[in-house]
Amino acid sequence: MAEKQEAKWYVVHTYSGYENKVASDLATMVESRGMQDLIQDINIPTETVTETKDGVTKEYVRKVFPGYVLIKMIITDDSWYVVRNIRGCTGFVGPASKPVPLTEKEVAALGVEKHTVEVGYKVGDNVKIISGPLEGYSGVVKTLDTSANAVCVVLSMFGREMPVDLELDQISLED
């Protein structure tokens, strides 16, 4: 047997309006065939939209990419066959229906995988910037928002205090 492959995200094209049906049928098929190790996650990217019309505000959820379903899977003959033969699925996105995985950058931009960053610092702590254009500078944490992956650090530059917005993994506690 080949070495253990890592699951990647693939995009599957569906008939318009069949995204939920394809996702639920695929989930049922994966469960019944015990293929959870090959097909690990099924995602239909959605967003909440607020619309105000005639003074009435209404919120609804809409599909970000109508006609597409994202699937995190390891491509084998079996997993490809199962996905390809779900009613409503027209095939994988890629040249000649050859599945092409999304890059890590694309997956991050779509927000289908939530990465949590463990931080060892809090507001008021002295920290050092460990990556980016201000690498090597030290400052004090002013605000911290783990859900948005953002931290505001106040640096002392040219005799002035300057707040700088950074990502959580760009700083560490000062030694």
Q: What is the CATH number of the domain that holds 16?
A: 3.30.70.940
CATH number, domain of 136, equals: 2.30.30.30
Residues 42 and 99 in one domain: yes
Is there a single domain that holds both residue 24 and residue 104? yes
Which band of pLDDT confidence, cut at 50, 70 and 90, is reported for residue 140? very high
The answer to whether residue 2 sits within a structural domain is: no
List Cα–Cα distances, 118 to 70, 92, 108, 115, 172, in angstroms: 27, 35, 18, 10, 11
Shared domain for 82 and 137, answered yes or no, is: no
Tell the residue number behind the tokens 């094209």, with chain if given.
13
Q: Which residue has the tokens 């990217």?
A: 45
Residue 1 has pLDDT above 50, yes or no: no
Residues 91 and 21 in one domain: yes
Q: What is the pLDDT of residues 34-86, one digit of tens each?
A: 999 999 999 998 888 888 888 788 888 888 889 999 999 999 989 999 999 99
Q: What total of structural domains would you count in the chain?
A: 2
Share of the chain above pLDDT 70, in %: 93
Last residue of a domain, one of 60, 76, 110: 110
Higher pLDDT, 115 or 132: 132
1 within some domain = no
What is the average pLDDT across 121-130?
Answer: 89
Let me know: does 127 contact 139? Beta carbons within 8 Å: yes
52 and 105 inside one domain: yes
Which of the pair, 109 or 70, is modelled with greater confidence? 70
- pTM exceeding 0.85: no
Residues 94 and 140 in one domain: no
Residues 44, 77, single domain; the answer is yes
Helices and strands counted in the chain (H then E): 3, 11
Q: Does residue 44 form part of some domain? A: yes
Whether 92 and 59 share a structural domain: yes
Domain of 31 in residue numbering reads as 8-110
Q: What is the mean pLDDT of residues 87-109?
A: 85
Q: Please indicate, yes or no, if residue 165 is contained in any of the structural domains.
A: yes
Distance from C-alpha of 29 to C-alpha of 44, rounded to nearest angstrom:
17
pLDDT at 2: 46
